[in-house]
Amino acid sequence: MTFPTGSFPDSVAVGDFNNDSRLDIAIANSGSNTVSVLIGYGNGTFASQTTFPTGTSPQSVAVGDFNNDKRLDIAVANGNSNTVSVLLGYGNGTFANQMTFPTGSFPISVAVGDFNNDNRLDIAVATVRSNTVGVLLGYGNGTFANQSMFSADYDLDSVAVGNFNNDSRLDIAVANFATNTVDVLLGYGNGTFASQTTFPTGTVPESVAVGDFNNDSRLDIAIANANSYTVGVLLGYGNGTFASQTTYSTGSSPYSVAVGDFNNDNRLDIAVTNVGSNTVGILLNSC
């Protein structure tokens, strides 16, 4: 089944935006400078989109409750505006006008987490032309402090969040498509991060996701390697370092990767979009 969006839908996130216990969809439309929200009926179908303005060329969307009102909000990385937009939700599937916060040059990916352990959600953003990860600490009212910037490799393309060294502090992983690497920035729990540690991937890693793929209670990393036609999996040692990647064949030009248990066997599986072959691939976990 297909559902219309705005022009050039570039990123998708899921949440219950109208508090009816049914999942809805948010899409960043880079060609129309909007976020589309498709309210779910709970049967796999969705209402027609409602669109909300963003900055220019929105590249990535993430979901969280940024003002602690128990209603989901939306964060958007606006590539050509060099900003992150925050759209506060009313809890009925509609959203307030965006507030924008400056980032580095061309923010391309956004993720959400509590990086300073104050029970308020913060935002991490990968900026492809600044070669940095920006961290915007949240005040808990929907607004954010000026970003702090942390160095990464160049040509960043995707950011994800997880606790990679089991210290109860969130860390950040970033895919670097030009250097064929993933950077891991270990968090100090106060909103700052150690210098990146770099791990090799396949060629042109476009997307990164996090999960425990071998059930050892240590987080691992999955990467879509666009020019290798593979998904790479880096198993974590639980101390912030990772084993060399194991690769799995995909379709042509894998571009985005996501994690979930798709066959209800209590093992995390991987879904990957293959741009070159117009397919979605599912890699079922055999561990």
Strand 107-113 relative to strand 122-127, pairing:
antiparallel
Whether pTM > 0.85 for this model: the answer is yes
Assigned fold of 164-286 = Methylamine Dehydrogenase; Chain H (2.130.10)
- Banded model confidence at residue 279, pLDDT cuts 50, 70, 90: confident
Q: Indicate whether 276 pLDDT > 90.
A: no
Taking residues 106-126, what's their average pLDDT? Answer: 97
CATH homologous superfamily for the domain 1-151: YVTN repeat-like/Quinoprotein amine dehydrogenase (2.130.10.10)
pLDDT tens sequence across 217-228: 999 999 999 999
- Banded model confidence at residue 36, pLDDT cuts 50, 70, 90: very high
pLDDT tens sequence across 154-211: 788 899 999 999 999 999 999 999 999 999 999 999 999 999 999 999 999 999 999 9
Determine the Cα angle at 176 with ends 175 and 181, to 5°.
Answer: 85
For 225-264, letters b (16+ CB in 10 Å) and e give bbebbbbbbbbbebebebeebebbebbebbbbbbbeeeee
Instruction: Please state the domain extents for the chain.
Output: 1-151, 164-286
